Amino acid sequence: MAFAALTTPKLPTLLRMSELYAPTLREDPVDAEIASHRLLVRAAMIRKVAAGVYSFLPLGMRVLAKVEAIVAEEMAAIGSQEMRMSVIQPAELWHESGRWDDYGPELMRLEDRHGHSFALAPTHEELITALIRNELRSYRELPKSLYHFSNKYRDEIRPRFGLLRAREFIMKDAYSFHVDQASLQEHYEQQARAYGRICERLGLTYFPVEADSGQIGGKVTIEFMALAEAGEAELVYCDCGYAANTEVAEVNVRAESYAGETLREIHTPIEGSIASLAKFLSIPESQTVKALAGCDLDGRIVVLFIPGDHELGPIKALRAVEGFELLTDEEMEAAGLARGYLGPVDLPGGVRIIADRALQSVPHWLVGANREQYHLSGARPGRDFEVDAWVDLTTAQSGDRCPLCGRDLKMARGIEVGQVFQLGTKYSESMGAQYMDEEGNEKPFVMGCYGWGVTRCLAAVVEQYNDEDGIFWPVSVAPAEVCVVPLAVGDNEVVQLAERLAGELAAAGVEVVIDDRDERAGVKFADADLIGWPYQLVIGKRGLAAGEVELKTRENNEKQSLPLEQSVDSLVALIAARREAYA
């Protein structure tokens, strides 16, 4: 992948297919599982270098430049200043923040000839904090917001899906510095609104969702999710406006009691799974309670209980129990826990019980009896066993209810294109970045950071704008707006007319490409459809005789005839209106 592009590009407005380096492909790349990966490669936008590493060809570069220009405009509109930081970062900075170890194998590391260690930036909190800590000094200079476009490097465990999960990718990341939470909140909201506008200008159907802050730190955060089946994120949303990543969504889970109030042992000669238990008793899985044994950071054993028809949310488990890890079968045996028949009554001493909030409204549980082939019904918290903590533990799923309005939630898949975080003082404290307040006291900066996946969002757009023939770019990010297609290159009249119309469109400021190659009509149409120019202006001999040209709108593949002499004016007006729609 080339280094990040200029953010205020001057793109040529008349391109020639005969000159353009755009080697389109008829075959799908063998490793491509999703549309954006297939089509970006076939449409000659990107080429693979290594797993998760891509180069951009001229057409992809034009799209990239437009995306960056939109992002840059929105950053300028909220007063964030562009800069550029280095990708190679001294290990010392990462030791200061503690992330040299915390980041794990995703951090790409290298050594220079003198044996000094460096990280290839996966993100820039460390570098920017070090950059400002001795030079941004007074409350009078705050707040400040700075951003850059740069390559990021993450040694993802599973690089795949082309630009969606790459190991080298371009991010726009902004960082802000404040005297207090109120000032941070204000800029955070501006950034979130800017992200909404960026999504709209890119034509993305999206949701801002509640999320987890992961490696970056901080507590308050929103992810911007472009809806797409190919997305790796799962979200729940409601017509009332609530939306959250299923990993963290604090939804209302329906859980039910199983018949019987007295504690009773049931013989269950089955393989110990929730599905087989529900089948054996002919009850829904929601009437069962699932137990998961794990240990905390210090190796102390804890058993988590959740409604039987739900899954444990790994992020929620980690929030509830520091360093939570599930026990292996051997570890369970060693700890004297009955695999498949685990329950809360009479657990070995010292084992903590943590239960999902939803179970608080379930007076009697159907659980394992802590012995092979037996379950207990009517197990009552507070009477038959004690729960050490009630917390939110499950991954949200269909059938759960909205925490705001109580209606049933809907599920969708999404691509995380951006995320905004309130970092607070995590980095300013660990790295000693302070400013002087009005009374002359040293105070740590209150910080925010705001990441936007520039290359990933390009793939997200293609996921939402493709059909079986190729891409149909929104005008805002198309590599050019109109493709003029002369059908008979041997025919002087057709060629001259095509050149004249293309020239007039370009002179009016429309971005035009003319397919002046000596190719069959079928080849030109296939390429135009694949690359995804929003409009094709087709000039053929027959139309010419009738004084007409044909306009194809790629979005819906509809064709209309335009009177030749009005075609340029109509198209200029149409493009102006389309641009306006994405402005």
Pairing of strands 81-82, 46-50: unpaired
Of 217 and 340, CB closest to Mg ion: 217
* Residue 235 makes contact with ligand ATP by CB under 6 A: no
- Residues of this chain that interact with Mg ion (CB under 5 A) are 419
- Residues of span 452-491 touching ligand ATP by CB under 6 A: 453, 455-456
* Residue 123 makes contact with ligand ATP by CB under 6 A: yes
Comparing every residue's Cβ against Mg ion, the nearest one is 419
Residues 366-405: x/- map of binding to ligand ATP (CB under 6 A)?
----------------------------------------
Task: Retrieve residue 450's tokens.
Answer: 């705001």
C-alpha span between 539 and 549 (Å, rounded): 5
Task: Retrieve residue 494's tokens.
Answer: 């057709």
What is the smallest separation between the CB atom of 495 and ligand ATP, expressed in angstroms? 43
**How many residues line the site for ligand ATP (CB under 6 A)?**
17
Of 166 and 528, CB closest to ligand ATP: 166
Collapsing DSSP states into helix, strand and coil, what is residue 154? coil
What residues contact residue 382 under an 8 Å CB cut-off, 6+ apart? none
Near ligand ATP by CB under 6 A: residue from 96, 156, 325, 504: 156
CA-CA-CA-CA torsion sign (40, 44, 48, 53): negative
Near ligand ATP by CB under 6 A: residue from 154, 178, 375, 524: 154
What is the smallest separation between the CB atom of 142 and ligand ATP, expressed in angstroms? 24
Comparing every residue's Cβ against ligand ATP, the nearest one is 453
* Residue 166 makes contact with ligand ATP by CB under 6 A: yes
* Residue 364 makes contact with ligand ATP by CB under 6 A: no
Task: Retrieve residue 91's tokens.
Answer: 């290990």
Which region, judged by CB under 6 A, interacts with ligand ATP, from 78-86, 284-292, 447-455, 510-518? 447-455
* Residue 150 makes contact with ligand ATP by CB under 6 A: no
Near ligand ATP by CB under 6 A: residue from 217, 344, 368, 418: 418
Tell me the one-letter amino acid at 314.
Answer: P
* Residue 338 makes contact with ligand ATP by CB under 6 A: no
* Residue 214 makes contact with ligand ATP by CB under 6 A: yes
Q: Considering only CA atoms, which of 226, 143, 222, 137 is closest in space to residue 182?
A: 143
Which region, judged by CB under 6 A, interacts with ligand ATP, from 70-78, 161-169, 507-515, 552-560? 161-169
Q: Considering only CA atoms, which of 152, 154, 135 is closest in space to residue 144?
A: 135
Checking 22-31 for CB contacts under 8 A at 24+ apart, the result is 22/57, 22/58, 22/59, 22/527, 22/531, 23/57, 24/527, 24/530, 24/531, 26/526, 31/160
Task: Retrieve residue 229's tokens.
Answer: 């089946």
Collapsing DSSP states into helix, strand and coil, what is residue 491? coil
Task: Retrieve residue 196's tokens.
Answer: 């909404």
Of 245 and 370, CB closest to ligand ATP: 245
Phi, psi (degrees; rounded to nearest 5) at 203: 80, 15
C-alpha span between 409 and 167 (Å, rounded): 34
What is the smallest separation between the CB atom of 167 and ligand ATP, expressed in angstroms? 7
Near ligand ATP by CB under 6 A: residue from 66, 124, 133, 165: 165
Of 225 and 277, CB closest to ligand ATP: 225
| CA angle at 500 for the pair 496 and 503, rounded to the nearest 5° | 135
Phi, psi (degrees; rounded to nearest 5) at 468: -65, -15
Return the bridge partners of 53, or none.
Answer: 50
Collapsing DSSP states into helix, strand and coil, what is residue 324? coil
End-to-end distance of the chain based on CA atoms, in angstroms? 28
Residues 23-62: x/- map of binding to ligand ATP (CB under 6 A)?
----------------------------------------
Which region, judged by CB under 6 A, interacts with ligand ATP, from 40-48, 438-446, 451-459, 464-472? 451-459
C-alpha span between 91 and 520 (Å, rounded): 57
Positions in the binding site for ligand ATP (CB under 6 A) = 123, 154, 156, 165-166, 169, 171, 214, 216, 416-419, 451, 453, 455-456
